[in-house]
Amino acid sequence: MEQPIEYFVAQARRISDTSPKTQIKGVLFNTTIGAVASGTLYGHKGVPDGRQIRTSLIVAAYAVNGFRIIETKNGSTYLLARIGPSKTFRDQWGILQEHLSVNDEALSRLPKSDYSTFGPELFQTPQLSRNTKGSSGMARSRAG
């Protein structure tokens, strides 16, 4: 059963209204996903419907009420929509989920510290007075 784009835009609004932490910026239709997503954008306040876009790096991917949602590095959240089932889309979604979970696992294994590796002394550099050479040279010429 094919759903019109208006159905997905309405679902995006409903999810945004019921979940303050998930504010969906728009619906990406006929989406291709990898490290970034590209597709036709609908329901975005600042972009005309039907514009082709490419997102910034995808940093999170999850489902809400059966709808696939992505979050990007720039802080935008999109609902992904397709007409009908697509094996390619399911495969891409699975690869993306696997990639993000591998990155999460790698990041969770990094050593944790209460102290910064780079203390404030790293950024403190000795500052020379601008007039050090000039004033001593002038003093010599007067004395000599």
Q: Where are the domains of the chain?
A: 5-108
Structure tokens, 36: 């970034």
Does the pTM exceed 0.75?
Answer: no
Distance CA(54)–CA(69), nearest Å, equals: 15
Angle at 88 between CA 97 and CA 103, to 5 degrees: 15
CB 76 within 8 A of CB 25: yes
Tens-digit pLDDT profile for residues 10-54: 999 999 999 888 899 999 988 888 888 889 999 999 999 999 999
CB 29 within 8 A of CB 38: no
Query: Which residues is 41 bridged to in the sheet?
Result: 28, 51
Tens-digit pLDDT profile for residues 94-122: 777 787 777 666 656 655 555 445 445 54
